Structure 1
Amino acid sequence: MANSFLLKAEPRSDIGKGASRRLRREEKIPAVIYGGDGEAQSITISHFEILKHLNSDSFYSQIIDIDVNGDVTETVLRDLQRHPYKPTVLHADFQRVVRGQEITVNVPLHFLNTESAAGVKAGGIMSQHVINVEIRCRPRLLPEAIEVDVANLGMNEALHLSDLTLPEGVALTAFAEGDAEQADTAVVSIHPPKTSSNEEDTAEVEAESENE
């Protein structure tokens, strides 16, 4: 497990849309902790507390300790409701983490050597088709990200989910059920740059001239 975050929270008993609007005017947001061995718990978190972590990719995939009046609960972020056009958070859902029990989370992919990849140096264009993957593991083994080294990826080549190097104890949920071959999605590929129709026409004319 790479990172851990801490959020200070307060218990919340006032439920409903009106109460939520009042909280937001006070720069607080309503949230819920659920799952695990306990009942759902309604809480209030400072809007600033949430905002200061949102630029970190790890916040969406790592353990978040929520301190409610000194009682700390380990959680992972399950849902974040944002305002449609304002830079504000409206609501958050957190799921309890039970040590020893596996959890399912999305973690980001970090691509390495993108500018020095063999296919890119040959003039190709890299396309990243997947930016995060769903994994299953025990909380203590939760990685911050999955690294994808593309240094040896050549022109017209691709890396698939099955090519990813996973940390010990971490599994992709994509292969848990069904057709593994169908689930083996391309993660990243390198292809030649597209040529304009004029360039293609010129090439065809030149080829015809050489054959005459």
Structure 2
Amino acid sequence: MSQTFTVKAEARETVGKGAARHLRRNGMIPAVIYGGKQPPLSIAIPYKETFLRLHAGGFMTNVAEIELAGETIKVLPKDYQLDPVRDFLIHVDFLRVGEGTSVSVEVPVHFEKQDASPGLKRGGTLNIVRHEVEVHCPATAIPEFITVDLTDTDIGDSIHASAVKLPAGVSFAITDRDFTIATIAGTAAGMSEASESDEAGDEGETEA
């Protein structure tokens, strides 16, 4: 389940490059809250706190509470901009969310029970096709990650979306195909050993 963090904001009366530079000189950055059938709301938020949140991980999947003039607004970060040269944060877009708000977000994929995979034990390699997957879910119930169980997977196997158990209320954004999340690929050594094992088995059957 996604976590919630709080950001104290100030109303932003003026917009434009000059106003944005003035904010940054004072340790703030411009941001906008939109959605919820309400007009966009221009705000200023602390640079340092927001920058640290951005690089702590999960920034785009964690609900934030914006405290503004005694009001608390629940939002989800939807986009941000970095300076192309110096790589510092210069703007953030927030989506206003409520109990009935559904969103599409990218969440990371975690792989578990690798020690229970015969293919990996035989020297196979986990080839990750998608490190993240896009899902539809309630804004207040965004999963931190999607889990893929590697039990009984063997060399040559592919793990598709249909094999993944999703939390209640969560669905994959891609619905027109059973897309691949990962495969178990064989190394040259592993393939050679497997071939020798198969040949030995064939010879044993022939002698029998």
Please confirm whether the aligned pair reaches a TM-score higher than 0.5, indicating the same fold. yes
**Equivalent residues of 1:125, 1:193 under 8 A apart:** yes
Residue matched to 2:29:
29
| Stretches of structure 1 lacking an aligned partner (at least 5 in a row) | 200-212
The 1:14–1:123 alpha-carbon spacing in structure 2 relative to 1, beyond 3 Å, is: same
Residue matched to 1:161:
161
| Stretches of structure 2 lacking an aligned partner (at least 5 in a row) | 193-208
Runs of 4+ aligned structure 1 residues displaced above 6 Å come to none
Q: How does the TM-score come out when normalised to structure 1?
A: 0.81
Q: CA deviation at 1:24?
A: 1.9
Q: Distance in 1 between matches of 2:35 and 2:174?
A: 23
Q: CA deviation at 1:116?
A: 5.7
Residue matched to 2:107:
107
Q: Distance in 1 between matches of 2:5 and 2:155?
A: 41
Q: Distance in 2 between matches of 1:24 and 1:141?
A: 33
Q: Distance in 2 between matches of 1:70 and 1:107?
A: 32
Percent of pairs identical after alignment?
A: 34
1:79 matched to 2:87? The reply is no
Counterparts of 1:122-161 in structure 2, within 5 Å, are 122-161=122-161
The 1:19–1:140 alpha-carbon spacing in structure 2 relative to 1, beyond 3 Å, is: closer
The 1:110–1:37 alpha-carbon spacing in structure 2 relative to 1, beyond 3 Å, is: same
The 1:83–1:150 alpha-carbon spacing in structure 2 relative to 1, beyond 3 Å, is: farther
Q: CA RMSD in A?
A: 2.0
1:65 matched to 2:45? The reply is no
Q: CA deviation at 1:10?
A: 0.9
**Equivalent residues of 1:5, 1:59 under 8 A apart:** no
Deviation track 1:118-162 (CA, whole Å, cap 9, x = no partner) reads 322211121111122222222333212111222332111111122
Q: Distance in 2 between matches of 1:9 and 1:142?
A: 24
Q: CA deviation at 1:75?
A: 1.0
Q: How many residues align?
A: 190
Q: How does the TM-score come out when normalised to structure 2?
A: 0.82
DSSP-derived class of the 1:141 partner: coil
Q: Which AA in structure 2 matches 1:187?
A: I
**Equivalent residues of 2:76, 2:139 under 8 A apart:** no
The 1:9–1:131 alpha-carbon spacing in structure 2 relative to 1, beyond 3 Å, is: same
Residue matched to 1:207:
none
Q: Distance in 2 between matches of 1:21 and 1:4?
A: 29
Residue matched to 1:187:
181
**Equivalent residues of 1:73, 1:96 under 8 A apart:** yes
